[in-house]
Structure 1
Amino acid sequence: MAAYLIFQRDKTTDPAELKTYSGLAGATMASHKATPHVVYGRHEVLEGAEVEGVVVLSFPTMEEARAWYDSPAYTAARQHRFKGAEYRVVLVQGL
């Protein structure tokens, strides 16, 4: 069953670290079955606190999503995301 990783950027804290992350993150998906659906496109918050941006990636299964998220390449890249911004990330199973 499909799974979705939803990244919500709440606040940028270090633009240089976020730029480094952006340069590394995309390449980490090359050997994984990830499909980007939303990558910081125009958005409108209808409820809750404002967000700076949203990314939605789909994977064939939750296990494959976790395999990418926990991969050595993405683990190294996400350290820059942790230093560069405040995010919320949710893994959710689709229908």
Structure 2
Amino acid sequence: MSAYAIFIRERTRNAGELQTYAEMVTPILGGIDAKVLAAYGPQDVLEGASPEGVVIVRFPTMQAARAFYDGAEYQAAVRHRFLGADYRSILVQGIDG
């Protein structure tokens, strides 16, 4: 069953660290079975505070999403995201069929 990783950027603190993160994470995502469905596009916020940006990535399973997030390559990159901005990150199981 598909799974989705949702990354919600609330506030940028260091754009240079975010650039480093983007440069590191792009090839990681390109080398696995994942598809970026949305990345910092226009928003129409219906409820709550407006975030700076949202990224949604589809994985084939929750296990694949966790393996990506917990993997050594991503953990090396994510340190730069932590330094660069305040985020909320969520994994959610999809509904197939």
TM-score exceeds 0.5: yes
Query: How much is the aligned-residue C-alpha RMSD, in angstroms?
Result: 0.8
* Superimposed CA distance per residue, residues 30-87 of structure 1 (whole angstroms, 9 cap, x where no aligned partner): 3321111001111121111110000000001000001111111110000000000000
Q: Is the 8 A contact 1:32 1:64 kept in 2?
A: no
**Paired residue type of 2:33:** K
Question: AA paired with 1:80?
Answer: H
Extract structure 1 runs of 4+ deviating beyond 3 A.
Answer: none
For 2:50 and 2:14, the matched residues in 1 are separated by 19
Matched pairs, number: 95
Question: 1:68 is matched by which residue type in structure 2?
Answer: F
Give ranges in structure 2 of 5+ residues lacking alignment.
none
Could you tell me the TM-score, scaled by structure 2's length? Answer: 0.94
Which residue of structure 2 aligns with residue 30 of structure 1? 30
- The TM-score normalised by the length of structure 1 is 0.96
The range that moved more, 48-57 or 21-30, is 21-30
Q: Distance in 1 between matches of 2:27 and 2:74?
A: 9
Structure 1 SS opposite 2:27: helix
Please state how far the C-alpha of 1:29 moved relative to its aligned partner. Answer: 1.6
Q: CA deviation at 1:25?
A: 0.9
Match of 1:88 in 2: 88
Question: Structure 1 unaligned runs (5+)?
Answer: none
Identity of aligned residues (%): 48
